[in-house]
Every structure is written in C-alpha cells, then in structure tokens.
Amino acid sequence: MFFDFSNKNVLITGGSRGIGRACAKMFSDLQANVIITYKSNRAEAEQTLKLLDANQNHSLYQLDITQPAEIELLFNQLIQKYGRLDVLVNNAGVFIEHKINEVSFAQWQKAWSETINTNLTGVSNLCYLAGKQMIQQQQGKIINISSRGAFRGEPDHPAYGASKAGLNAMSQSLAVALAPYNVTVGVIAPGFVETDMAATYLEREAGELIKKQSPLNRVATPEEVARLVAVFASEGLEFATGGIVDLNGASYLRS
C-alpha cells in the first residue's frame, strides 16, 4: 500500500514543533514508530509525544546536531532499540539574521559558523550514519528539508541561503551514491511556513507582504510539508530520488 508505514521506524530531527511536529503526528497516524529529536525544550517535545498514538513504539532523544559524538550515540541507541532505521527526516535547522550592513565581523562569522554547522554539516553527519545503516539494510528513505532561499537568495540571512543550497547539492550527490543500495534521497524546498521559527517575521508589519508573495495570499502550513514528506518516504516512488520539490505557493518560480 502506498502510505503503509506499519512497523516502520522514522527518525525526525527537530521533531518537537512546527514541521517536525506535523511530520511526527502524520507518521504516527500512519502506524509508524516515530523517533523525535529536540535540542533543548524537552517540555515541548513531550507535548508532541503526547499527540502520537500510544500503541506504537515512539521515543524521544535530546540532540545537538552540531555535535558529531551526540549523533553517533543517538544512532547506536536507535539501532540497539529498533534494529533498523527506515526513514530519516532532516528537519532541524536555524535561521539567523545577519545583515551585512548591520553586523560586526565577529557577528558575521558567528552566524555563518552556527548556520553551516547546523543546516549543512550536522545534516551531512546524520545522512552519513543513516546512509551506512540503510546500505546494510539495502533499503531506506532520506528526506531533507531545504528552502526556496537556496534558489532566490536570502539577503538578510545569507548563511541560511548558502546552507540550503549546499544541502540541495549534497542531497543530489547522495541520491546518486546511495541508489545502488535501494536508498533514496528527496528534498522539499518550502517558502515561509506557519511555524514558531517564522512567527516573528509573519507577525511583523511585513507579514502581510510575505503572505502576498504567493497568489494564494498565505504561507504554507506544517501539515502541507508533512504530506509531501510522506510522499517521498513512501514505497513505489524510488525513481523520484534526487528530486527537489518546491512548496512555496508559487511565491518563487524557478526554471
């Protein structure tokens, strides 16, 4: 069955809120075992856990994805508990404002370091360990959450745009490398999504202008992103590997 995730083990980074929470709820509703990671807010993560079907084997782990040792420990614990990993959703990320005409050189370097370490290097380490496990299994799905900023640019958040462009390139490289092992890699590139991370921008005076960037006159919902994640994670769409799908309400169209 297309959306049959019964007894599948799904790891979602940044799974405590926003897109991650919507993905966790959706996979739980589809009978998967959901593994959520969070960086610091355990109470929020536990709230997400309470939304999931108690009949499945869900779990919660604290993880700073900029720390390779923490990622390695997490995978050791997951394989010990679950035996295999079927789906990895790389959702955790940061969006740090650093306008070149406003920040100091030290602030500029700090923003770049934190952004690349989280959005690209951390994700690459998760992909490596998941990919190695999935090679052994001869099966697996990796879905990376990118951004329209990788294509249109992010003048106030240049490191974010660069990190997501790098994520796209890495994902397509891994799609080629992992295809012989029946492991697929998909990328979703949303525009603004109604999440806590975007709230500070959507609630400003410019929030209405952001919504008007789309002819639908709104931003995406986390559930819309989650549905597309489910498509990439499904059996029977292996030929979509390496694909980057825009989800921005026609707010930015690329050729």
Is residue 38 part of the annotated active site? The answer reads: no
Active-site annotation holder among 82, 160, 181, 201 = 160
Interhelix angle 105-116/158-178, rounded to 10 degrees, is 20
Alpha-helical regions (H) of 51-122 = 68-82, 105-116
Alpha-helical regions (H) of the chain = 18-29, 42-50, 68-82, 105-116, 123-137, 149-152, 158-178, 196-202, 207-212, 222-233
Burial class (CB in 10 A: 0-12, 13-18, 19+), 83: exposed
CB-facing half-sphere around the CA of 180: CA atoms within 13 A:
3
Residues identified as active-site: 160
